Amino acid sequence: MTLPRTHVALRFGACLALATLSACGADTVQPAAPATPAPLRLDEHANRTTVSATVGTPVVVTLHSTYWSGLTSRTPAALAAAGTPRVAPAHSCAPGAGCGTVELDLRAVRSGSAEITAHRTSCGEARPCVGGAGTYTVTVKIRG
Protein backbone atom coordinates (compact mmCIF):
# COMPACT_ATOMS: atom_id res chain seq x y z
CA MET A 1 0.00 0.00 0.00
CA THR A 2 1.45 3.34 -1.05
CA LEU A 3 0.62 6.52 0.79
CA PRO A 4 -0.20 9.67 -1.13
CA ARG A 5 2.57 12.26 -1.28
CA THR A 6 0.80 14.58 1.16
CA HIS A 7 0.76 11.83 3.84
CA VAL A 8 4.48 11.11 3.29
CA ALA A 9 5.25 14.83 3.59
CA LEU A 10 3.15 15.11 6.77
CA ARG A 11 4.78 12.03 8.30
CA PHE A 12 8.25 13.38 7.44
CA GLY A 13 7.37 16.78 8.94
CA ALA A 14 6.07 15.17 12.13
CA CYS A 15 9.25 13.08 12.49
CA LEU A 16 11.42 16.14 11.88
CA ALA A 17 9.51 18.15 14.48
CA LEU A 18 9.80 15.32 17.02
CA ALA A 19 13.53 14.97 16.41
CA THR A 20 14.03 18.72 16.79
CA LEU A 21 12.11 18.83 20.06
CA SER A 22 14.03 15.84 21.39
CA ALA A 23 17.35 17.41 20.50
CA CYS A 24 16.34 20.71 22.09
CA GLY A 25 15.39 18.93 25.27
CA ALA A 26 18.88 17.51 25.60
CA ASP A 27 20.37 21.01 25.83
CA THR A 28 17.98 22.40 28.40
CA VAL A 29 19.40 23.40 31.75
CA GLN A 30 18.08 21.40 34.64
CA PRO A 31 16.61 23.51 37.42
CA ALA A 32 19.19 24.23 40.10
CA ALA A 33 18.72 22.92 43.58
CA PRO A 34 17.26 25.55 45.88
CA ALA A 35 20.03 27.79 47.14
CA THR A 36 20.77 27.99 50.84
CA PRO A 37 19.51 31.32 52.14
CA ALA A 38 22.12 33.89 53.06
CA PRO A 39 23.18 33.65 56.70
CA LEU A 40 21.37 35.79 59.24
CA ARG A 41 24.17 37.51 61.16
CA LEU A 42 23.45 38.70 64.69
CA ASP A 43 25.55 40.56 67.25
CA GLU A 44 25.03 42.87 70.24
CA HIS A 45 22.93 45.22 68.11
CA ALA A 46 20.25 42.50 67.85
CA ASN A 47 19.96 42.15 71.64
CA ARG A 48 16.35 42.25 72.86
CA THR A 49 14.91 42.16 69.33
CA THR A 50 12.83 39.75 67.26
CA VAL A 51 14.14 38.73 63.84
CA SER A 52 12.70 36.57 61.05
CA ALA A 53 14.18 33.58 59.23
CA THR A 54 12.98 30.78 56.98
CA VAL A 55 13.56 27.07 57.51
CA GLY A 56 17.09 26.26 56.30
CA THR A 57 18.55 29.69 57.09
CA PRO A 58 21.97 29.61 58.76
CA VAL A 59 22.15 31.94 61.76
CA VAL A 60 25.55 33.20 62.97
CA VAL A 61 25.76 34.95 66.34
CA THR A 62 28.95 36.91 67.09
CA LEU A 63 29.31 38.62 70.47
CA HIS A 64 32.27 40.97 70.80
CA SER A 65 33.61 40.09 74.23
CA THR A 66 35.01 36.85 75.58
CA TYR A 67 33.14 37.54 78.83
CA TRP A 68 29.96 36.17 77.20
CA SER A 69 29.14 32.57 78.12
CA GLY A 70 26.27 30.13 77.72
CA LEU A 71 25.59 31.25 74.13
CA THR A 72 22.90 28.81 72.99
CA SER A 73 19.52 28.26 71.39
CA ARG A 74 16.93 27.63 74.07
CA THR A 75 14.75 26.03 71.38
CA PRO A 76 17.01 23.53 69.58
CA ALA A 77 14.06 21.74 67.94
CA ALA A 78 13.46 24.90 65.87
CA LEU A 79 16.90 26.54 65.87
CA ALA A 80 19.66 23.96 66.16
CA ALA A 81 23.30 24.69 67.00
CA ALA A 82 25.82 23.36 64.49
CA GLY A 83 28.43 22.81 67.19
CA THR A 84 29.57 24.60 70.31
CA PRO A 85 30.39 28.29 70.76
CA ARG A 86 33.86 29.27 69.56
CA VAL A 87 35.89 31.73 71.62
CA ALA A 88 38.49 33.74 69.70
CA PRO A 89 40.55 35.98 72.00
CA ALA A 90 42.01 39.10 70.41
CA HIS A 91 45.71 39.51 70.95
CA SER A 92 45.56 43.29 70.84
CA CYS A 93 44.81 43.87 74.51
CA ALA A 94 45.89 42.68 77.93
CA PRO A 95 45.05 39.09 78.90
CA GLY A 96 41.82 38.93 80.89
CA ALA A 97 40.42 42.13 79.41
CA GLY A 98 37.73 40.24 77.48
CA CYS A 99 38.89 41.33 74.02
CA GLY A 100 37.77 38.94 71.30
CA THR A 101 34.61 37.23 70.18
CA VAL A 102 32.29 34.37 71.06
CA GLU A 103 30.57 32.91 67.99
CA LEU A 104 27.90 30.25 67.45
CA ASP A 105 26.56 28.79 64.20
CA LEU A 106 22.92 27.72 64.18
CA ARG A 107 20.38 26.64 61.56
CA ALA A 108 16.62 27.20 61.43
CA VAL A 109 15.25 23.64 61.17
CA ARG A 110 11.48 24.03 61.60
CA SER A 111 8.78 26.67 61.81
CA GLY A 112 8.12 28.29 65.15
CA SER A 113 9.69 30.66 67.59
CA ALA A 114 13.18 30.21 69.04
CA GLU A 115 15.26 32.11 71.55
CA ILE A 116 19.01 32.68 71.53
CA THR A 117 20.54 33.57 74.88
CA ALA A 118 23.90 34.31 76.52
CA HIS A 119 25.00 35.93 79.74
CA ARG A 120 27.99 37.59 81.35
CA THR A 121 28.75 38.93 84.82
CA SER A 122 31.61 41.23 83.85
CA CYS A 123 31.10 44.12 81.43
CA GLY A 124 34.74 45.13 81.41
CA GLU A 125 37.86 44.61 83.44
CA ALA A 126 36.79 44.70 87.11
CA ARG A 127 33.42 46.20 86.07
CA PRO A 128 30.32 44.15 86.92
CA CYS A 129 27.34 44.24 84.57
CA VAL A 130 24.45 46.34 85.80
CA GLY A 131 20.80 45.81 84.93
CA GLY A 132 20.26 44.00 81.64
CA ALA A 133 23.80 44.58 80.34
CA GLY A 134 24.75 41.02 81.28
CA THR A 135 21.95 39.36 79.31
CA TYR A 136 21.71 38.68 75.57
CA THR A 137 18.34 37.53 74.19
CA VAL A 138 17.11 37.41 70.60
CA THR A 139 13.84 35.85 69.47
CA VAL A 140 13.87 34.24 66.01
CA LYS A 141 10.52 33.73 64.25
CA ILE A 142 10.97 30.89 61.77
CA ARG A 143 8.54 30.33 58.91
CA GLY A 144 8.39 27.32 56.62
pLDDT digit string, tens, across residues 29-68: 666 666 778 999 999 999 999 999 999 999 999 999 999 9
CATH number of the structural domain 40-143? 2.60.40.2020
What secondary structure, in 3-state letters, does the chain show? CCCCHHHHHHHHHHHHHHHHHHHHHHCCCCCCCCCCCCCEEECHHHCCEEEEEECCCEEEEEECCCCCEEEEECCCCCEEECCCCEEEECCCCCCCCCCEEEEEEEEECCCEEEEEEEECCECCCCCECCHHHHEEEEEEEEEC
**The pLDDT value given to residue 40:** 97
Whole-prediction pTM: 0.74
Domain limits of the chain? 40-143
